[in-house]
């Protein structure tokens, strides 16, 4: 068995060649990656559903736009809260994933975290891969793997995140940001 180097906390950026509509121009933050598989959330799929309509107690803490994001095609009836808390250990009810990015226990009282919480995003569903599945997709060239930044979690214009993440790369990936939505029209 090959050793798996953890990609937890990194971003998967869909290549233009990825044809799965669930991941067209998706930017996925990996929350967990090990030999047992991978779990992440799509950062750039806002829905029209307001947070206050599904998790009213958390609505005041949700960053703009204050909507639920579709985190991926798996378990759309489950919610994940992701927030940025710089520095220290973080409050009870928050678990660090990578750097200042962590998961919020949505069962905890919001007031427990309110004072320390940076920006909060709520995601319905997640993206998941079984053992070796993500590695196969990486070998096939379906994803670019890049470093995440805390601001990626709460990008004010999530529809532009794919291009923004690629544009900030200091390699030929920056050119991919100019790839047209429909290359057949070129």
pLDDT tens readout for residues 53-93: 999 999 999 988 999 999 999 999 999 999 988 777 878 89
Look at residue 165 and tell me whether its pLDDT is greater than 70.
yes
In contact, 85 and 105? CB cutoff 8 Å: no
Q: Where are the alpha helices (DSSP H) in 1-154?
A: 51-54, 110-113, 133-139, 150-153
Q: Long-range contacts for 30-35 (Cβ within 8 Å, ≥24 apart)?
A: 31/80, 31/82, 31/97, 31/103, 31/126, 32/8, 32/97, 33/4, 33/6, 33/7, 33/8, 33/134, 34/4, 34/6, 34/8, 35/1, 35/4, 35/131
Q: What is the average per-residue pLDDT within 116-137?
A: 93
Confidence of residue 5 (pLDDT cuts 50, 70, 90): confident
* Dihedral pair phi/psi, residue 101, rounded to 5°: -90, 135
Residue 102 pLDDT: 92
Residue 175 pLDDT: 86
> Who wins on pLDDT, 141 or 171?
141
Residue 182 pLDDT: 58
């Amino acid at each position: 068995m090959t050793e798996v180097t953890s990609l937890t906390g990194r971003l998967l950026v869909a290549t233009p060649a990825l044809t799965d509509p669930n991941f067209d121009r998706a930017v996925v933050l990996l929350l967990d990656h090990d030999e047992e598989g991978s779990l992440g959330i799509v950062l750039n799929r806002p829905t029209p559903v307001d947070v206050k309509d599904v998790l009213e107690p958390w609505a005041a803490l949700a960053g703009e736009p204050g909507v639920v994001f579709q985190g991926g095609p798996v378990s759309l009836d489950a919610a994940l809260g992701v927030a940025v808390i710089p520095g220290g250990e973080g409050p009870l009810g928050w678990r660090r994933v990578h750097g200042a990015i962590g998961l919020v226990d949505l069962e905890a009282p919001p007031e427990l975290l309110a004072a320390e919480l940076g920006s909060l995003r709520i995601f319905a569903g997640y993206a998941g891969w079984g053992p070796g599945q993500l590695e196969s997709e990486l070998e096939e060239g379906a994803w670019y793997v890049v470093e995440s930044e805390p601001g990626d979690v709460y990008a004010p214009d999530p529809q532009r995140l794919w291009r923004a993440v690629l544009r900030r790369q200091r390699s030929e990936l920056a050119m991919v940001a100019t790839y047209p939505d429909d290359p057949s029209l070129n």
